[in-house]
Structure 1
Amino acid sequence: MTLEKILSISGKPGLYKLKTQTRGGFLAESLLNGKKINVSGRHNVSLLSEIAIYTLTEELPLREVFKKIYEKEDGGEAISHKEPKIKLEEYFFEVLPDYDEDRVYASDIKKVVQWYNLLVRNGITDFSETEADQNEAVSEEE
């Protein structure tokens, strides 16, 4: 499974897998505990495939950051998101040396590390480009 069907829902902990569309929203399953919840249109929902991290030169898609962590950790889990702020920032600097320290906060780094570990624990390690990303890259070249 790719990041296309993985969601972050504001106000709800962890990540969710998109299961099916309903009349008033959709059904999602928590990656933390497997519970299913009904998500209405009032919730602020983000697809992981649409999130990017600021670097000094561009916005890097989150899947690229996950890919770098995956390579650094040889497919294993990263450090705990509960580590002190300075340790998280040092770790993130090792993974992404050109991240924009003014626009990427410690809370963002904590979330990225927590999400990565949650995805790896659930066997979701396909951080490759989606078809939509590839089509977008081709259209930009034309």
Structure 2
Amino acid sequence: MSLDKILSISGKPGLYELKAQTRSGFVAEALADGKKLSVSMRHNVSILSEIAIYTYTEEVPLRDIFKRIQDKENKGAAINHKVSKNELESYFGEVLPDYDVDRVYTSDMKKVIQWYNILQAKGITDFEAPDEKKSSDEEE
């Protein structure tokens, strides 16, 4: 499953998988417990593949940050997102050394680490961009 189908819905904890579109919104399934919910267009919804984190030079896509965490943890789970602010900033600094400290908040770091751990627990560990997959398949 790609990050193109994984959603974050404001006001709702955790991550969701896009299941189907409806006339007034769409149906999403919670990754945590599999419960389905109807989401209207008035909800603020973010697709994980469209999210990026600010650095001093560019915006780094979330999938790249997930890959960096995966490499750092040897494909295992990251630290708990509830650790102290200093531990969180230190860890995030190891993963993305040039993140913009003025524009990336502690709450953003917590979300990234929490989302990574949710995806890891569900076995969603392929963070390659769809166009990268095609080019590597063509080379073989």
**TM, length-normalised to structure 1:** 0.91
Report the counterpart of residue 14 of structure 2 in structure 1.
14
Offset from partner CA, 1:26-81 (integer Å, 9 cap, x none): 10000121110000111000100000000111000000000000010111100000
Report the counterpart of residue 37 of structure 1 in structure 2.
37
Write the distance in 1 (CA, Å) between the matches of 2:127 and 2:81: 20
Unaligned 5+ runs, structure 2: 135-140
1:20 Cα deviation after fit: 0.8
Q: Equivalences for 1:66-105 in 2 at 5 Å?
A: 66-105=66-105
Identical aligned residues as a percent? 67
Q: State whether residues 52 and 61 of structure 1, in contact with CA within 8 Å, keep that contact through their aligned partners in structure 2.
A: yes
Instruction: Give the 3-state SS of the residue equivalent to 1:91 in structure 2.
Output: helix
Q: Equivalences for 1:99-138 in 2 at 5 Å?
A: 99-131=99-131
Instruction: Give the 3-state SS of the residue equivalent to 1:53 in structure 2.
Output: strand
1:18 Cα deviation after fit: 0.4
1:131 Cα deviation after fit: 3.5
Unaligned 5+ runs, structure 1: 135-142
Q: State whether residues 77 and 120 of structure 1, in contact with CA within 8 Å, keep that contact through their aligned partners in structure 2.
A: yes
Write the distance in 1 (CA, Å) between the matches of 2:130 and 2:102: 29
Instruction: Give the 3-state SS of the residue equivalent to 1:65 in structure 2.
Output: helix
Write the distance in 2 (CA, Å) between the matches of 1:34 and 1:67: 25
CA RMSD of aligned residues (A): 1.3
Instruction: Give the 3-state SS of the residue equivalent to 2:42 in structure 1.
Output: coil
Report the counterpart of residue 52 of structure 2 in structure 1.
52
